[in-house]
Structure 1
Amino acid sequence: MHTPRRLVLASAYAAVAVTVSLASIPAFAQNVVKIGEINSYKAQAAFLEPYKKGMELAVEEVNAAGGVNGKKLEVITRDDNANPGDAVRIAEELIAREHIDVLMGSFLSNTGLALTDFAKQKKFFYLAAEPLTDKIVWQNGNKYTYRLRPSTYMQVAMLVPEAAKLKKKRWAIVYPNYEYGQSSAATFKKLLKEVQPDVEFVAEQAPPLGKVDAGSVVQALADARPDAIFNALFAADLAKFVREGNTRGLFEKTSVVSVLTGEPEYMDPLKDEAPNGWIVTGYPWATIATPEHKAFLAAYQARYKDYPRLGSVVGYSAVKSIAAGIRKAGSTDTEKLAAAFKGLPVDTPFGKITYRAQDNQSTMGAFVGKTKNEGGKGVMVDYSYLDGAKFQPSDAEVKQLRPAD
């Protein structure tokens, strides 16, 4: 028996029609929610490898509990090569080829700003997990972009009261010469001057990110003979700065206030060179006694046989935030999700946080304390957790800084 040619053609057309139809179905309708995650994995491995583990743990927990509105989460990661142009190109590809539902990630402030603009232009939801620049939620802010971590302004504002207590008049400043570092320095000078009008800034060093000439930087600071130093260097730049400063005795009689240094990602590599008595923001994972953190710590250690870094908390909390937002919105539709995130409460290892309706910034806080070299390893002591909601400009100031959505 021969099948009529018309029937063969009809069957072929039907098969093509079914294929096209299935290809056009959004990921959300196919029992999976695709999160496109872009980050500088090769360039900032110390932070982002633990971050990736935190994401994985959160996805496993969400999916084990039935997913979000009955849909399983899937994270598709890509490396942006620490390049803003690459980040935008990859975002385009994730939407066009992988049909992602939401965008998340970035570490460096410049890549975060590029994706913030992308979200605005494409009207696509983006959660900036880690980049700290204030511009993401203020000057360059838009209705489609939210940010998880406490911003540059917030972390510096947490350190300024401790800096003022030192009653030091002559300050030197060192920071990486890109958006985060520039913003850190400017905010520190502004806020410290407000509470201590007689303060003097006697030296300022701004080496390129990842290319610090530690010897010349330390010598320039020493020549200025400051009473105290504000530092915003991190990662390998920080390690070189600390090593050279220890060698030349820069820190022996000079107080140091430092953003990020208390994070284990940056403290652990210093080993027995870890400084004593620096006032820092960080993450004292081993001694946080809250129920939320104990539960997270136990789950993380059971899963990875390792201790968490701050990146682990950020990655975990970012995925939990996306899940909470989609659950509230009942959809991955960008407009609905952007609206759902306003005032959204999320449970994290640091307790409950809220995404502020004023500027799309979360109220996640940070730990502020002092460094201590304990048995050849740096730890944080005398610390307290500061609620991010308490370290923000007034709503009136935010309104002036942020364009209308």
Structure 2
Amino acid sequence: MAKVSMARWFALGLALALGAPTAQAQQPPIKIGELNSYAKWAAFTVPYRNGWQLAQDEINAKGGVLGRKLEIISREDGSTTGDTTRVAEELVTREGVSLLFGSFLSNVGVAMADFANQKKIVYIAAEPLTDAVTMAQGNRYTFRIRPNNFMQVGMLVEQAKASGAKRWAIVAPNYEYGQSAAQVFKRLIQERVPGAEIVAEQYPALGKIEAGPTVSAIEQAKPDGIFNVLFGPDLTQFVREGNTRGLFEKKSILSLLTGEPEWLLPLKDEVPEGWTVTGYPWDQITEPKHKAFIDAYRAKFNDTPRLGSLLGYMVVTMIRDTIERAGSAETDAFIKAMQDAKFDTVIGPVTMRGSDHQASMGAWVGKLALKGATGGMADWTYKDGTPFMHSEAEVKAVRKD
């Protein structure tokens, strides 16, 4: 009888020993929440989703993060602040996510920053550009990856000085992003271009531009430079009407985001050549890490990448790196690990500044050019974001945390 008992105990011990690796492999995943405007702004957000899915797949194929799979639970945010905070609440309370990332529209990003502060959960803004996300509404729990309005407008204003234009018109969508970009431009053009003045301002409702009256109002002001912040269908209509009327001839045009494939491709052969833009000349960037990302993206999705694709990929790989440094996805440890952290990304080194949680990611600045039946960027340079960030003194003056 004793021999049978000993045999059973030996068999049980052997089973437990052999089962240990399986038990370890079955640790619960690290859950992170993602929300975005997939229904209304698919041109940007669907390629962005492809980017973060590619990163997630690569991470999990290599064993995950800290030996655990990375599970991204994604939701539609409805493109409104009310729907966004409701969905964010569900991700936190029902799904039990450790942190949140995403958002497209700037007003939604501001609402998410406030939500993160109230709920004391990390939120990483992937796409919103308004300075408020990391400045006036910035807080301990909110971080941003891409360069904000102040940084990108600053890059363009550098080119404005060389153009010699003094009489400037502004056209921007009438919501948080457009208003923020316009305010930054008015400040920087007058600081850096002696004698510059704003002679016209047009703020059409987002997605509802009346291109004829907008172009007419700008024409009547007789500017020698135009600062454009429109994107999506509004941009296409504005360009078409402006081309028809010759609005852009013999003028210096500075345009935020227009060199991004998301907004450039729909213009097809109507691309307004010579505009100075921020964008993403993905097909001309030759660095090995970036090329490997491009090859993997095209192989997986049988499509060319957009700037959103790059951002989605970068956000998730930076989240992975931060969790590994922190040793967990716990909020306080994650924040400490991300502040002033340096990341080796597919576009080169990026630092997350500790004072405002704004990343130093830069932007590509160049000229629009027609290449065959579509447009692209020419004479471009990548400008690191660090020299264009708000000063530490200004950060300290406006942030409340």
Q: CA deviation at 1:304?
A: 1.3
Percent identity (aligned): 55
Distance in 2 of aligned mates of 1:361 and 1:330: 22
1:346 Cα deviation after fit: 2.1
* Aligned residue runs from structure 1 range 64-213, under 5 A: 64-213=61-210
CA deviations 1:309-336 (Å, max 9, x no partner) are 0000000011011111111111111111
Q: Kindly provide the CA deviation profile for residues 331-365 of structure 1, in whole angstroms up to 9, marking residues without a partner as x.
A: 11111111111012223221121110111001110
* Structure 1 CA distance for aligned equivalents of residues 391 and 299 of structure 2: 42
CA distance in 1, matches of 2:382, 2:44: 20
The question of whether the paired residues in 2 share the 8 Å contact of 1:193 and 1:199 is answered with yes
CA distance in 2, matches of 1:62, 1:84: 31
CA contact (8 A) 1:275 1:371 kept: yes
Does the CA-based 8 Å contact 1:31-1:70 persist in structure 2?
A: no
Does the 8 Å CA contact 1:320/1:346 hold for their aligned counterparts?
no
Query: CA deviation digits over 1:22-63, x for unaligned, max 9?
Result: xxxxxxx94301111010111110001100000010001111
- 2:113 partner letter: T
What residue number does 1:361 align with?
Answer: 358
- 8 Å Cα contact 1:175-1:233 kept in structure 2: yes
Q: CA RMSD in A?
A: 1.2
Deviations 1:152-179 (A, max 9, x none): 1110011111011101111110001111
Query: Given the alignment, which residue of 300, 311, 316 partners 2:313?
Result: 316
State the partner residue of 1:262. 259
Q: What TM-score do the two structures reach when normalised by structure 2?
A: 0.92
Q: Aligned to 1:204, what secondary structure does the other structure show?
A: strand
Q: Deviations over 1:157-214 (max 9, x none)?
A: 1111101110111111000111111111111111111111201211000011111111
Q: Which amino acid aligns with 2:49?
A: K
Which residue number in structure 2 is paired with residue 16 of structure 1? Answer: none
Structure 2 equivalent of residue 33 of structure 1:
30
TM-aligned CA deviation for residue 393 of structure 1: 2.2
Q: How does 1:54-65 map to 2 (within 5 A)?
A: 54-65=51-62
| TM-superposed deviation, 1:283 | 0.2
Query: Unpaired segments of 5 or more residues in structure 1?
Result: 1-28
Task: Tell me how many residue pairs correspond in the alignment.
Answer: 377
Residue 386 (structure 2) pairs with residue 378 (structure 1): no
**Alignment-derived partner of residue 14 in structure 1:** none
In the alignment, structure 1 residue 279 sits paired with structure 2 residue 266: no
8 Å CA contact 1:126–1:146 kept in 2: the answer is yes
Q: Which residue of the partner structure matches residue 49 of structure 1?
A: 46
Shift of 1:305: 1.5
Distance in 1 (alpha carbons) for counterparts of 2:75 and 2:254: 35
Q: CA deviation at 1:395?
A: 1.0
Q: Is the 8 A contact 1:171 1:226 kept in 2?
A: yes
* Aligned partner (choices 329, 332, 336) of residue 332 of structure 1: 329
CA-to-aligned-CA distance 1:115-148 (integer Å, 9 cap, x gap)? 1001000101111111011111111111111001
| Alpha-carbon distance between aligned partners in 1 of 2:55 and 2:264, rounded to the nearest angstrom | 25
Cα distance in 2 for residues equivalent to 1:133 and 1:349? 24
Instruction: Give yes or no for the alignment of 1:245 onto 2:242.
Output: yes
Determine if contact 1:359/1:398 at 8 Å carries over to the other structure: yes
Q: Taking structure 1 as the reference length, what is the TM-score of the superposition?
A: 0.91
Q: Deviations over 1:199-258 (max 9, x none)?
A: 121100001111111111011111111101000001111111101111111112222100
Deviation, structure 1 residue 293: 1.1
Report the Cα distance in structure 2 between the residues aligned to 1:138 and 1:255, rounded to whole angstroms: 30
Give unmatched runs, 5+ long, in structure 2. Answer: 1-25
8 Å contact kept, 1:37–1:104: yes
Residue 393 (1) aligns with residue 378 (2): no
Corresponding residue number in structure 1 for 2:15: none
State the one-letter code of the partner of 1:285.
W
User: How far apart are residue 398 of structure 1 and its match?
Assistant: 1.3
Other-structure match for 1:24? none
